[in-house]
Amino acid sequence: MVNKKMYQLGSAPNAIRALFAYGLARKAEIGEENVFDFSLGNPNIPAPDAIKQTINHLVELPSNLVHGYTPAQGSVGVRNAIAASVNRRFKMNAAADNVYMTVGAAASLTISLSALCQAGDEFIVINPYFPEYKIWIEQAGGACIEVLAQKDSFQLDIAAIECALTSKTRGIIINSPNNPTGVVYSKDSLVKLAQILNAHQEKQGRSITIICDEPYREIVYRSVKVPFIPTLYDNTIVCYSYSKSLSLPGERIGYIYVSERMPDSATVYLAVCGAGRALGFVCAPSLFQHVIEHCVEEQTDVAAYAENRALLTSGLSRLGYEFVEPEGAFYLWARSLEPSAEAFAERAKAHELLIVPSTSFGCDGWVRISYCVSKKTIEDAMPAFESLMKEYS
Amino acid sequence: MVNKKMYQLGSAPNAIRALFAYGLARKAEIGEENVFDFSLGNPNIPAPDAIKQTINHLVELPSNLVHGYTPAQGSVGVRNAIAASVNRRFKMNAAADNVYMTVGAAASLTISLSALCQAGDEFIVINPYFPEYKIWIEQAGGACIEVLAQKDSFQLDIAAIECALTSKTRGIIINSPNNPTGVVYSKDSLVKLAQILNAHQEKQGRSITIICDEPYREIVYRSVKVPFIPTLYDNTIVCYSYSKSLSLPGERIGYIYVSERMPDSATVYLAVCGAGRALGFVCAPSLFQHVIEHCVEEQTDVAAYAENRALLTSGLSRLGYEFVEPEGAFYLWARSLEPSAEAFAERAKAHELLIVPSTSFGCDGWVRISYCVSKKTIEDAMPAFESLMKEYS
């Protein structure tokens, strides 16, 4: 009596969310301070004060100006503000009509994929990857083609991507800074990616779009620079979200930026508008559209994440854990102490450590430790990480 | 290079939205007070004061409690509050796990349709109908079957619905109080609808769900009662939105209520969760989930719409216009003064009257006049309606 695929997706929820739910129940059982929950990317850093001040200001305005419908693509004010910010920061030439406001990054991706995909099209993802990518690509009628990242460094493997290009390739999702690995893809590798994609586009007479999933753009360490892909490759759509940069994950506010350098940019933008309509996104939440218009240049509190990162990496190094040195986002990608990541994560659970096995991201042998938590959680978890290590020595 | 269907949907926007956009441009040209815009269902009545007070209170709480992710189906608090309200008002036995929070009524419908529809399933809509229904049904992989409402009264035509039932019928969308006609379907007709659907379910051994699209539930006049369909038919999903009842259309907050009386209610609820995930709805906006938790019993200011309704109906009656006496919502469904509703709406435009031709809703010969506007707009528009009438006499 129901759609079988939807039932399966609903009854086998995302493993990360399931671990988060286990954590909530376990905290209720043995006390919050005794569970070390590194499962979810739910920022512990508060939203900037400017958000609260802007909301306080906005709710004094006439109700229909604040809470009324905006145009489907978003208010002109916020789209102008975002275009101006993109232009200032990255020397682009965006206009309001290159920006489409969305209900967060997930919506940015489902709308972009539906706009681009014709039945049978292939979209490449870099393994390990955020598990919903496959669901969203298939929902849009496409096929999800996995290409492994480089061993140990988890940088792009350009040769492997080149091998995966076919006459059906329609796009590639690039997520940098990366969830789950914390890697920022080097400018060199992205220039090479642009080269092989341009060559393949020409050879096939076919458009190949890079979809940049960029919720972690602002969260980088040690003055690492995140290359802005639209400056390196014309056929690019950016899917942005304020969930992580402004600590507003529940508010579902983000945007799609259809690069003005894209061939047929206006056509793609209209398809984005159509996809938003077909999927039931009438407009992005209006109060937060207005909030973003006022707070578009607000800074992310990266220092707090940097402190967590230092604490966690030095602590785990000392205990003998191996991991990829994180350059961005707030995830530590650590090697499992046994071949099966799931078995390892289960053992960690017995020490009240909630970490996500890499099988959730399509590969084995690693775990993701999300450090957008309180400093205290990291400090208090160290004895548990120590006991866990001892079990394996 | 793009999905053709999405491009078409994006480049031929909803005619109502197009008229609204024309109105904005025209107001900029000749002054706001000289354009009589009856095009859109964008409530002119402000949101209740309690909304502002609740927002002011919430933003003082810790940031991650207000702006953090909620579970995908919504916070337990707001779902409990809605279930309790449904139980109190309609003597149901709903629990939090019958309620799934959404980004407004459009999302409620796309998620419900995707949850229920298997390829080739048929969904019945009552003509005239909200034009996006067809897009959303087809997007979910279904076929949209139109059944005409009764002539002139625009009540349900039960015999016609019975004729339209086939071995592929999977559901019917019922929208009462109705957009565009303002009609509230009688209890008698809904009881008969339940009878024919139950009989057909039994005969076909197949589930047929009523999807109630209910954004106008609270907006009724002259103590008309809107029957609560889950009390009349078990196999029912309610799609609710606070857009109209609390004047929050831009905030995109609503819910799906999967009736606990539905056979396999838990299975349908899981399919709803799966569809929300597949379409890219991570959670409904968190601030407004918390607002609704506090304001679930807040009353709609129906008196203001009733005053508009009285003003408009008495004014147009006096001028000789014919219309369906509106029982609910804030739309007047008036007979076009010539056979072509589009030609009539164009003539009205020359008098700066923006009204929506019934062809936007699938039939000809009528227009929709949206009266969720200021009293002054209605008063000032009367001479224009008079001149328009004179053109036809």
Residue A336 pLDDT: 98
**SS3 sequence of A169-233:** EEEEEECCCCCCCCCCCCHHHHHHHHHHHHHHHHHHCCCCEEEEECCCCCCECCCCCCCCHHHCC
B148 membership: H or E segment, kind and range: strand B143-148
* Tens of pLDDT, residues A156-189: 999 999 999 999 999 999 999 999 999 999 999 9
Residue A195's pLDDT is 98
Tokens of A202: 């020409």
Give the helix ranges, DSSP H, for A33-94.
49-58, 63-67, 76-90
Ranges of chain B with pLDDT below 50: none
**Dihedral sign computed on CA atoms, order B16, B289, B329, B385:** negative
The region, left, alpha or beta by phi > 0 then psi within -120 to 50, assigned to residue A352 is left
Q: Give pLDDT, residue A21.
A: 83
Flag if B3 and A118 touch (Cβ within 8 Å).
yes
- Residue A279 backbone phi and psi in degrees, to 5: -85, -10
Q: Which of A6, A115, A285 sits opposite B271 (nearest CB)?
A: A6
Q: Which whole-number Å values give the CA distances from B9 to A197, A267, A270, A273, B131, in the listed order?
A: 29, 12, 8, 8, 12
Angle formed by the axes of helices B286-295 and A286-295, nearest 10° = 130
Answer whether A274 sits within 8 Å of B107, measured CB to CB.
no
Distance CA(B173)–CA(B237), nearest Å, equals 10
Distances (CA, A) of A248 to A208, A300, B67, B286: 32, 11, 5, 9
Rounded to 10°, the helix B265-279/A132-139 angle is: 90
Put the strands of the sheet holding B209-213 in their side by side order.
B99-102, B254-258, B236-241, B209-213, B169-174, B122-127, B143-148
What are the chain A neighbours of B73 within 8 Å (beta carbons)?
none
DSSP B328: B
In a 3-state reduction of DSSP, which class is residue B116? helix
For testing contact with chain B, the best of A19, A63, A132, A262 (most B CBs within 10 A)? A63
Number of Cβ within a 10 Å radius of residue A223: 5
- Answer yes or no: are the C-beta atoms of A240 and A108 closer than 8 Å: yes
Helix then strand then coil, in percent of chain A rounded to 5, is 45, 15, 40
Which tokens go with B84?
A: 């309790």
Give the residue carrying structure tokens 């590639």. A172
Helix (H, G, I), strand (E, B) or coil at A241: strand
Read out DSSP for A294-351? HHTTPPP-HHHHHHHHHHHHHHHHHHT--EE---BTTEEEEE-SSS-HHHHHHHHHHT
C-alpha B24/C-alpha B4 separation (Å) is 29
Contacts of B130 in chain A (CB under 8 A): none
Measured CA distances, B312 to B9, B309, B319, B356 (Å): 34, 5, 11, 16
Residues of chain A with C-beta less than 8 angstroms from the C-beta of B4 = 118
Measured between beta carbons, the chain B residues lying within 8 angstroms of A40 are 69
Residue B51 has which token pair? 């909304």
Higher pLDDT, A297 or B21: A297
Q: Are strands A209-213 and A236-241 parallel, antiparallel or unpaired?
A: parallel
Phi and psi angles of residue B255, each rounded to the nearest 5 degrees, phi first: -155, 165
Chain B 318-377, residues with CB within 8 Å of chain A CB atoms: none
The beta-carbon neighbor of A10 closest among B47, B70, B270 is B270
Distance, CA of B367 to chain centre: 17
Contact A166, A310 (CB under 8 A): no
Interchain contact A247–B (C-beta under 8 A) = yes
The amino acid that residue A100 corresponds to is: Y
The answer for A 150-179 residues in CB contact with B (under 8 A) is none
pLDDT computed for residue A300 by the predictor? 85
CB B250 within 8 A of CB A68: yes
CA-closest candidate to residue B210, choices B230, B185, B191: B230
- Flag whether pLDDT at A342 surpasses 90: yes
pLDDT at residue B12, rounded to an integer: 85
Write out the two tokens for A256. 């799609």
Could you count the other beta carbons within 10 Å of the beta carbon of residue A66? 25
B320-353 burial string, b = 16+ CB within 10 Å, else e?
ebebbebbbbbbbbbebbeeebbebbebbbebbb
Compute the mean pLDDT over every residue in chain A, rounded to the nearest whole number.
95
Partners of B132 on chain A (C-beta within 8 Å) are 277
Give the pLDDT score at A331: 97
Residue A274 has pLDDT above 90, yes or no: yes
Give the per-residue pLDDT at B20: 84
Predicted pLDDT of residue B81: 98
Closest chain A residue by Cα to residue B52: A59
Rg over CA atoms, chain A: 21
Residue A14 scores a pLDDT above 80: no
State residue B236's pLDDT score: 98
Closest CA to A275 of A237, A244, A309: A237
CA angle, residues A123, A125, A129, in degrees to nearest 5? 145
Q: Is the pLDDT of residue A144 over 90?
A: yes
- Interface confidence, given as ipTM, is 0.95
Is residue B94 a contact partner of residue B87, using CB atoms and an 8 Å limit?
yes
Our CA dihedral for A378, A379, A383, A384, rounded to 10 degrees, sits at -20
Query: CB distance from A67 to chain B under 8 Å?
Result: yes
Calpha distance A248→A260 (Å, rounded): 28
Task: Evaluate whether B48 touches B246 at the Cβ level (below 8 Å).
Answer: yes
CB contact under 8 A, A3 and B117: yes
pLDDT confidence of residue B18: 84
Residues of B in contact with A67 (CB under 8 A): 47, 51, 247-251
Q: Using the predicted structure, report yes or no on whether residue A214 has a pLDDT greater than 90.
A: yes
Biggest CA–CA distance in chain A, Å, is 66
Q: Indicate whether A235 pLDDT > 80.
A: yes
